[in-house]
A and B are shown apart, each in its own frame.
Chain A
Amino acid sequence: EVQLVESGGGLVQPGGSLRLSCAASGFTFSSYWMSWVRQAPGKGLEWVANIKQDGSEKYYVDSVKGRFTISRDNAKNSLYLQMNSLRAEDTAVYYCARDLGAGSGSFPFDYWGQGTLVTVSS
């Protein structure tokens, strides 16, 4: 059974840092791009970043470029999001999601974690 379990959320002051983790199981983690998606309270879904299978390519939404860093450890089946210089507008539930797989016939964003809440407030 595919499982994605996020952790690391919490309350942080503006300008502070937080590192989110996503533990993956039930599939070959190293064969998939992985993404982070967030949802501010009462708002829609926003894609944040993704990372290629071997970590060689990373992409970000403009609003987090230079502040957030996505990474992965395939030996630990884990995905990370390092968030620095946090702002009130980063307050959201952060989800990890399985993105594109290797080869044809992959249909991304089939599995999602339960989310972890990040609150940026003084």
Chain B
Amino acid sequence: DIQMTQSPSSLSASVGDRVTITCRASQGIRNDLGWYQQKPGKAPKRLIYAASSLQSGVPSRFSGSGSGTEFTLTISSLQPEDFATYYCLQHNSTPRTFGQGTKVEIK
């Protein structure tokens, strides 16, 4: 099984800050990775697909990069509505596996 190691598990940031979240795969997964935002009581919402493609309707302050085993989600300027939990998900193989999540909190 492919393990996804996501870091940090939580972070505190201020509005306007640049935020970076990392996922590391235990083996190469090409670019078969998505990034998701989840708010309390809601289903996950995809932000990024194919590691670096922005989902339609998602603000351009979100970006993804990486391929193989190292992936990054960047929020260029954190907005109040961005405080949430973020997950990476690999779909290169089954079982699909998620990162442990990163909770982004207000500083």
A-to-B contact residues, CB < 8 Å: 35, 44-47, 50, 59-61, 95, 99-100, 107-110, 112-115
Q: B95 to A115, Cβ gap below 8 A?
A: no
Q: B43 to A113, Cβ gap below 8 A?
A: yes
A109 and B94 CA atoms in complex are apart in Å by: 13
Q: B43 to A109, Cβ gap below 8 A?
A: no
Q: B87 to A45, Cβ gap below 8 A?
A: yes
A61 to chain B, nearest CB (A): 5
Contact of B44 among A45, A59, A60 (CB under 8 A): A45
Q: Which residue of B lies closest to A6 (CB)?
A: B43
Q: A50 to B43, Cβ gap below 8 A?
A: no
Q: A109 to B89, Cβ gap below 8 A?
A: yes
A-B contact pairs, 26 of them (CB 8 A): A35-B96, A45-B44, A45-B87, A45-B89, A45-B98, A45-B101, A47-B96, A50-B96, A59-B95, A60-B95, A61-B95, A95-B43, A99-B91, A107-B34, A107-B49, A107-B50, A109-B36, A109-B46, A109-B89, A109-B91, A110-B55, A112-B44, A112-B45, A113-B43, A114-B43, A115-B43
A35 and B95 CA atoms in complex are apart in Å by: 11
